[in-house]
Amino acid sequence: MTRLLVVTAAAAEREAVLSGRPVAIGMLAGLEVHRATTAAGLLDVVCGGVGPVAAAVATGCALRNGYDAVIAAGIAGGFPGAEVGGMVVADTVIHADLGAETAEGFSSMAELGWGPVRFDTDPALAAECGRRTGARTGSILTVSTVTGSQHRADQLRTAHPDALAEAMEGVAVHQAAARSGVRFAELRAISNRVGPRDRSAWRIPEALSALTAAFAELLSAPLTTSPPRTESETAQ
Ligand SMILES: O=C(O)c1cccc(C(=O)CC[C@H]2O[C@@H](n3cnc4c(=O)[nH]cnc43)[C@H](O)[C@@H]2O)c1
């Protein structure tokens, strides 16, 4: 049976993914793991907290359970091309604000020679997420600070013209999954536009409904791209 881990930031996102399925709640290093059985296999959902540090720690802990695939999921801000209420799946996740501020502006980790900031997701898993949920495919930025001005939104889009969305956990979940050799994807519902901060314009209920519908489709049949781990892999 395929074992899928989904990592969200907020409890409301976890509940949207689980969509009222009966769950068993287990504890792992102080982390609640909500477990459900689906047509796609075993589903564990953890709410790791907001931001890359919390997400990396939670994912690293949860991965001790052993999974075939990990999906970072939740709501996100959308760039042009990703409509509020729509779904986006990442072909690439980008650590967009990790670097240094210089007199000439922002320099990314990659430009400073400290390592990559763009990471490919698992192509087959991302494609299956896109096919089943109707999500648009593009890159999803990971930021530590939610964008709150048009100037910053324009800067990010200029630096990453392929960006469809911005959220705060994707790269962190990817890093933890990569260390464990587990397939990774990021699937998000757009709740707001990336731009001037206006919390009243966030459409969180609509985005959570879209997330629920997307996971209902995704989990409606066995995942063809994340076959169960073999016995020897599971033993490792
Ligand atoms: O207040 C609520 O009811 C509520 C329900 C579900 C989720 C939340 C969150 O605050 C989630 C935070 C989470 O959302 C991502 N996110 C959403 N929009 C953006 C954005 O424009 N820029 C960056 N991140 C965004 C992010 O991954 C946060 O961790 C509240």
Tens of pLDDT, residues 74-110: 999 999 999 999 999 999 999 999 999 989 899 999 9
The residue range of the domain holding 40 is: 3-223
Q: Is residue 181 part of a domain?
A: yes
- Give the C-alpha separation, 89 to 110, whole Å: 24
Question: Of the residues 149, 168, 169, 199, which should be mutated to test ligand 1's pocket, given the most ligand atoms within 8 Å of the CB?
Answer: 168
Percent composition of the chain: helix, strand, coil (DSSP 3-state, to 5): 30, 35, 35
The whole-number pLDDT of residue 236 equals 58
List pLDDT tens digits, range 126-184. Answer: 999 999 999 999 999 999 999 999 999 999 999 999 999 999 999 999 999 999 999 99
The CATH number assigned to the domain holding 80 equals 3.40.50.1580
Averaged pLDDT of the chain: 96
- 231 lies in some domain: no
Domain assignment present for residue 155? The answer is yes
User: Residue 196 falls within a domain, yes or no?
Assistant: yes
To test the pocket of ligand 1, the residue of 15, 71, 75 to mutate (highest count of ligand atoms within 8 Å of its CB) is: 75
Structural domain total, the chain: 1
Q: What is the pLDDT of residue 34?
A: 98
Closest atom of ligand 1 to 9 CA is 29
CB atoms within 10 A of CB 108: 20
Residue 51: inside a domain: yes
ipTM above threshold 0.90: yes
Phi/psi at 118 (5° precision)? -110, 135
Please tell me the predicted confidence (pLDDT) of residue 235.
64
Which tokens in the block code for residue 205?
Answer: 């209920």
Q: Is residue 234 part of a domain?
A: no
Q: Is 169 in the pocket of ligand 1 (CB under 6 A)?
A: yes
Nearest CA to ligand 1 atom 7: 10
Between CA 71 and CA 55 the distance in angstroms is 12
Ligand 1 centre and the CA of 76: distance in Å? 6
Whether 128 maps to a domain, the answer reads: yes
Q: 188-223, pLDDT tens digit by residue?
A: 999 999 999 999 999 999 999 999 999 999 999 999
Q: What b-and-e string marks burial along 145-165, b requiring 16 or more CB atoms within 10 Å of the CB?
A: eebeeeebbeebbebbeebbb
User: Has residue 228 been placed in a domain?
Assistant: no
